[in-house]
């Protein structure tokens, strides 16, 4: 469902930090590779006036529709493409939007997905077990929850969710099958995981993360998108990524470190034979976190980690 015209806009995280890391300039061209509802794109368009342009990319057709309505007043300065950001390069080439001054990736879920869309992203509502970013994808959360063998399910929850109670939760899910809604799944996980009232996050958080990552091949898509982002950046262009969990952040950190090095040979190699040459310069070696004031006003920003690098 597309709730056009309603005030459901996601609050973009770390806007001042994003604009600084992107080094936004008047007349610049930028790709918002995870468009969502267009909050970051709106900020970049404002900071790049006059003449700035933004190409927004998102796999979620409902998010693209909301962003297009939100940013309609910017006319031709804003373009949007409904595709996964693993297709970033082809989307930019199709629109002759290469090279660019910056690429932004915000890897978090939007408020539209968490609070509005009935696709099972939230464990607080009885939505269908879907979790697909794009309705064109084949595998759903229901396929994984009700179809994986117990051992496969446990491995998935442990490796993609870093869930210490993965085996206990997997066993409980298999016993409770078939599960049809996100609320049913969350209740099963909560009973199996335990943790008591002092647990910092909901007991189902890590398991839902793992299933969602698997449904959308998020880690594979991220690796592909990072490579393609560098290829569309002009000299001095910036790559800025905001991640929210350790698996994503590790991929981003290792990618930026590798691409800022002239050698990627194993440590035991005495003479470099890889021939790799650095394509990036780290803007800062330290991860940037949201301010205390932002976390207080927008609790969903609390786990955000921003990393930035510049094309050389």
- Can you say whether residue 131 is alpha, beta or left, with left for phi > 0 and alpha for psi between -120 and 50 degrees? left
Residue 9 confidence (pLDDT) above 60: no
Q: What's the CA gap between 181 and 43, in Å, rounded?
A: 36
* Domains 15-112+218-311 and 135-216 fall in the same CATH topology: no
Q: 135-216 falls under which CATH superfamily? A: Putative methyltransferase TM0872, insert domain (1.10.150.170)
Mean pLDDT calculated for residue range 202-210: 94
Which one is the CATH code of 15-112+218-311: 3.40.50.150, 3.40.50.850, 3.40.50.1370, 3.40.309.10? 3.40.50.150
Task: Check residue 272 and give its pLDDT.
Answer: 82
For residue 2, the model assigns a pLDDT of 41
Q: What is the pLDDT of residues 280-296, one digit of tens each?
A: 999 998 999 999 999 99
Phi first, then psi, for residue 192 (nearest 5°) are: -75, -40
- Tell me the average pLDDT across 161-188: 97
Residue 58 DSSP SS3: strand
Domain ranges of the chain: 15-112+218-311, 135-216
CB-based contacts of 236: which residues, under 8 Å, 6+ apart? 101, 310, 311
List pLDDT tens digits, range 97-137: 999 999 999 998 866 666 655 778 888 888 999 999 988 89
- For the segment 177-184, the average pLDDT, to the nearest whole number, is 96
The answer to whether the CB of 223 falls within 8 A of the CB of 232 is: no
Q: What is the pLDDT of residue 4?
A: 42
Which of 12-21, 126-135, 160-169 shows the lowest mean pLDDT across its residues?
126-135
At 29 the pLDDT is 98
40-to-12, 49, 73, 247, 282 alpha-carbon distances in Å:
6, 15, 15, 23, 22
The predicted structure's pLDDT at residue 303: 93
Query: So what's the pLDDT on residue 274?
Result: 84
pLDDT tens digits, one per residue of 229-249: 999 999 999 999 999 999 999
Question: Average per-residue pLDDT in the chain?
Answer: 92
pLDDT tens per residue across span 148-163? 999 999 999 999 999 9
Sheet holding 100-106, edge to edge: 78-82, 53-58, 29-32, 100-106, 233-243, 305-311, 280-282
**Higher local confidence (pLDDT), 134 or 31:** 31
Residue 183 has what pLDDT? 94
- Per-residue pLDDT, averaged over 164-190, amounts to 97
Check residues 257 and 194 and name the one with the higher pLDDT: 257
């Amino acid at each position: 469902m597309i709730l056009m015209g309603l005030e459901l806009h996601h609050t973009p995280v770390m806007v001042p930090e994003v604009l600084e890391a992107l080094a936004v300039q008047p007349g610049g061209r930028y790709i918002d590779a995870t468009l969502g509802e267009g909050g970051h794109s709106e900020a970049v368009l404002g900071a790049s006036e006059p003449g700035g342009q933004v190409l927004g990319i998102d796999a979620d057709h409902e998010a693209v529709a909301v962003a297009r309505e939100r940013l309609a007043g910017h006319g031709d300065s804003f373009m949007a493409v409904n595709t996964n950001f693993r297709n970033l390069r082809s989307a930019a080439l199709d629109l002759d939007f290469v090279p660019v001054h910056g690429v932004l990736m915000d890897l978090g879920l939007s408020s539209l997905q968490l609070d509005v869309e009935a696709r099972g992203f939230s464990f607080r509502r009885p939505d269908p077990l879907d979790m697909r970013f794009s309705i064109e994808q084949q595998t759903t959360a229901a396929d994984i929850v009700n179809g994986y063998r117990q051992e496969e399910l446990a491995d998935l929850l442990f490796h993609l969710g870093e869930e210490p109670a993965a085996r206990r939760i997997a066993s409980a899910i298999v016993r409770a099958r078939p599960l049809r809604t996100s609320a049913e799944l969350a209740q099963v996980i909560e009973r199996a995981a335990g943790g008591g009232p002092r647990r910092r996050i909901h007991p189902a958080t890590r398991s839902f993360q793992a299933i969602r990552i698997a449904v959308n091949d998020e880690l594979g898509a991220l690796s592909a998108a990072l490579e393609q982002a560098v290829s569309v950046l002009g000299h001095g262009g910036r790559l800025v990524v905001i991640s929210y969990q350790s698996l994503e952040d590790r991929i981003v950190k290792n990618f930026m470190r590798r691409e800022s090095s002239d050698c990627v040979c194993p440590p035991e190699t005495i003479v470099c034979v890889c021939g790799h040459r650095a394509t990036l310069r780290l803007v800062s070696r330290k991860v940037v976190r949201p301010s205390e004031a932002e976390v207080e006003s927008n609790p969903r920003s609390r786990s955000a980690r921003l990393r930035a690098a510049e094309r050389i």
